[in-house]
Structure 1
Amino acid sequence: MGLTLDELKKRVYEEAEKIDDWKLYIHLRRLKIRRLTPNLRTFHILKVLIAMRRLHLPINSNTVTWIFPNEHNLFNKLHNLGDKHLIILKRKERTYEWILNEELLGDFL
């Protein structure tokens, strides 16, 4: 039997919590990525995107808005992660899809 949507969302957040904030922060600092600290919401979004990738979930506009239903400026925050080359935007016909940059985040995927 499969998971319900609420159980799946809970599993994504549990997987994101397994990612050590400081290991990810230090890794990003070594890559010269600044202004992305563990206390920022954008950092949390990055952790959830990594968790979604680990669980083999698609990272597109539908799933991201489902995971973060009340997030203000969500697409601006995703754009900021794209500016830092952490995620890559792939435009689909009726949706956006993001791919995590494996060269930069390979240790966490």
Structure 2
Amino acid sequence: MIGRLMTMTAHPGRGGELAAVLLRVAQGLRGFPGCEIYLISQGAADPDTVHVTEVWRDEASAQAALAAPPRADGPAPADVLALLSSPPHRTDLTVLGGVGLPKSDSRP
């Protein structure tokens, strides 16, 4: 499994709006093949900072999600980008296991 931590900074005062758009993205990923976790969090001390924690079965699954056409009822990538005050910061991870992951894929 692979993971990503995305940190995004919204324009001042628009963190709630960014989080709401990303929650809509998350809703669209429910049931998407290979998407194990897509968690949206907002900074407690800085609500204009929004984090996305992603866990994918493999890189191909993550790339398939990026390549998929936007759902008619979901936000477009431009909707997210318009709310950002700077480019997102991405940290790539190798997922070792833990609570909330499928037992068959988790490592002890």
- Higher relative CO (CA 8 A, sep ≥ 6), structure 1 or 2? 2
Q: Report the TM-score, using the length of structure 2 for normalisation.
A: 0.29
Q: Which has the larger radius of gyration?
A: 2
Bigger strand fraction: 2
Bigger helix fraction: 1
